[in-house]
Amino acid sequence: MSEEKSRLARKTIEDKDEIKIDEVKDVLETKPEKKSKGIILAQFFVPWLIALLFIAGLYIFLPSDKFTTLGFWMLVYFFPPFGKESVIPLAIAGDRLGEAVPWEYPEMFVPIDPWLIAISVAFLDIIVGLFLVWNFDLAKKIPIMGRWITKLEKKGGTILKENRYIEALSFVGVVLFVMFPFQGSGGVGASIVGRAIGMNPYKVWVAIIIGAISGCFLIAYAADSFFKVFMENRILGLLILVLIVALAAVLILKRRKNREKIEDEEEN
């Protein structure tokens, strides 16, 4: 009798565990046709809620001038051709650029700590990535974002041909794609590329998290080191800047030639 009770107790526990697992699977479901209305609403609003909490935290803990400046650069990050490679250095430089450029630089742009702008920009990629994991098809119907996603989807094949390492390395390839500071390599671009090579949406999101954090911190501390050198030795700083610009120009021209070659092959 006691054995029967033990067996029934074990079965009850197993049934409860299965129910909990099923509930978790429902919450994490990414296919629209398998979602309930409640899950659809939750998955749509949760990323927005997380973003609002993040912004509220910045507002509470940062001085008003730093919050305003950081908010400005976070907003700018959403508008091409700006990317992490331009927003992060500009945010770190702040009004120190006023000493280096011949025109008047707005005093409102106070310097932002490297770790703070790195976390903030990485957060944007991460939260956009999460939103697309749950709402990819729905996001395509949102006016501005939808046009951007559709445009990137059409370029998906070209992006993969330009960055063949992505398909070859799969997860690591998406991480590297997010890390490299090229236009379209943020959370939206990585979500589309990850789907194009058949990766699980959550694996794509983890790759975005790793790539965004590591890439943003590398750029932030490289930019901070450059500005420190520049403020101490203008000539050395300018030489480094010229080398960086020259290298960037070479890489951009090379990518443009590769893109034109790929487009010609597709037309033929």
The tens digit of pLDDT for each residue in 185-231 reads 677 788 888 887 778 888 989 999 999 999 999 999 988 888 888 87
Neighbours of 192 (CB within 10 A): 22
Residue 184 zone, left/alpha/beta (φ > 0; ψ -120 to 50; rest): left
Among 23-32, 53-62, 136-145, the minimum mean pLDDT is found in 23-32
pLDDT band at 258 (very low <50, low <70, confident <90, very high): low
Q: Looking at residue 209, what is its pLDDT?
A: 94
* Token pair for 197: 């090579």
**Predicted confidence band of residue 246 (pLDDT cuts 50, 70, 90):** confident
The pLDDT assigned to 25 comes to 45
Q: Average pLDDT for residues 63-68, to the nearest whole number?
A: 90
DSSP class of 7: H
Quick one: which of 48, 74, 84 has its CA closest to 189? 84
Structure tokens at 24: 């978790």
Q: What's the chain's Rg over C-alpha atoms? A: 23
Contacts for 193-202: CB closer than 8 Å, 24+ residues apart: 193/156, 193/159, 193/160, 193/163, 193/166, 195/136, 196/156, 196/157, 196/160, 197/160, 197/166, 197/167, 197/170, 197/173, 199/170, 199/171, 199/174, 201/30, 201/132, 201/133, 201/136, 202/28, 202/30, 202/133
pLDDT tops 50 at residue 263 = yes
Residue 73 is predicted with a pLDDT of: 93
3-state percent helix, strand, coil for the chain, nearest multiple of 5? 80, 0, 20
**Nearest Cα to 197, choosing from 160, 144, 233?**
160
pLDDT at 155: 64
Round to whole Å and give the CA distance between 243 and 217.
21
How far from 2 is each of 10, 11, 15, 246, CA to CA, in Å?
Answer: 12, 14, 20, 80
| Confidence (pLDDT) at 23 | 43
Higher-scoring residue by pLDDT: 99, 67: 67
* Bond prior to 81 in cis (omega within 30° of 0): yes
What's the pLDDT tens digit per position in 88-130? 998 988 756 555 555 555 555 788 899 999 999 999 999 999 9
User: Average pLDDT in the 164-188 region?
Assistant: 74
250 or 211, which is more confident: 211
- For residue 67, name the pLDDT band (cuts at 50, 70, 90): very high
Q: Which helix (H) or strand (E) holds 18?
A: helix 2-28
pLDDT for the residue 235:
81
What does residue 152 show for φ and ψ, rounded to 5 degrees? -70, -35
What are the Cα distances from residue 214, in Å, to 33, 177, 208, 220, 221? 35, 12, 10, 10, 11
- Average confidence score pLDDT of the chain: 77
Which range is least confidently modeled, 49-63, 177-191, 213-227? 177-191
CA atoms of 116 and 135, how far apart (whole Å):
28
Higher pLDDT, 165 or 14: 165
Q: Is the pLDDT of residue 233 over 70?
A: yes
If one compares 59 and 228, the residue with the highest pLDDT of the two is 59
In tens, the pLDDT along 153-171 reads 666 556 666 666 666 667 8
Residue 261 has pLDDT above 90, yes or no: no
pTM of the predicted protein model: 0.76
